[in-house]
């Protein structure tokens, strides 16, 4: 769970990075429940044209990455989400998104990365001093980063405003996002996780009480 309090955050816009080969199933739990709880999700692409997800979905970005950079201090920003994608492992095409994550973190805006996006943050040096996780430790070791001693064998980890998760943990990834942004807390957060991770019907009444 989070080791950084975000209780003073007031932003209600979540920026979701979208790019070709993105793993579209990894962020669906998070974005669906964020929009149902008063947040606006805006997609950020490398350009203005549509991108195609790993599942074949075509997404037209709301804004480009350069437009996000031009916002200066995006005052209503609550979070920047980076999904996994094959492109994270095949070159530097997505490096500008990791650069943007560094800039936003510098402005106090948290970042959430899952699957291959964790390697992007590692190459950017953003995991050198933060507790984090990914698919497996040696996946990040291949990036040449210096944060190996901070790697945790966990479903998802939050530290220093950065959320990380492996490719098989979209529910835990969403749980960390909800905890960070105060969407669900305490018993309700646990109930949400049990309902969607374990199909625990007993959690439904708690979540909706």
Among all residues, which ones are annotated catalytic? 115
Between CA 112 and CA 83 the distance in angstroms is: 8
Residue 115 to residue 142: CA distance in whole angstroms: 14
Radius of gyration for the alpha carbons in the chain, expressed in angstroms and rounded: 16
The residue whose two tokens read 């094959």 is: 86
Q: Is 117 helix (H, G, I), strand (E, B) or coil?
A: helix
> Exposure string (b/e) for 102-115, b if CB count within 10 Å is 16 or more?
eebbeeebbbbbbb
Q: What angle do CA 78, 16, 34 make, to 5 degrees?
A: 55
């Amino acid at each position: 769970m989070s080791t950084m309090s975000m209780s003073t955050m007031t932003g209600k816009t979540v920026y979701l990075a979208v790019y070709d080969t993105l793993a579209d199933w990894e962020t669906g739990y998070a974005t669906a429940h964020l929009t149902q709880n008063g947040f606006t999700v805006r997609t950020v692409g490398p350009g203005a044209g549509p991108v195609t997800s790993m599942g074949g979905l075509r997404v037209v970005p709301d804004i480009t990455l350069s437009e996000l950079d031009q916002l200066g201090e995006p005052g209503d920003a609550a979070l920047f989400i980076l999904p996994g994608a094959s492109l994270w492992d095949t070159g530097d095409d997505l490096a500008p998104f990791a650069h943007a994550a560094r800039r936003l973190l510098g402005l106090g805006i948290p970042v959430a990365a899952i699957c291959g996006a964790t390697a992007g943050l590692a190459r950017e040096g953003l995991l050198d001093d933060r507790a984090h996780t990914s698919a497996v430790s040696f996946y990040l070791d291949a990036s040449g980063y210096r944060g190996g001693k901070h790697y945790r064998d966990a479903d998802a980890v939050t530290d220093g405003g950065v959320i990380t998760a492996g490719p098989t943990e979209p529910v835990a990834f969403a749980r960390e996002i909800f905890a960070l942004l105060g969407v669900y807390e305490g018993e309700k957060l646990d109930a949400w996780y049990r309902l969607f991770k374990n199909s625990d019907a007993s959690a439904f009444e708690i979540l909706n009480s």
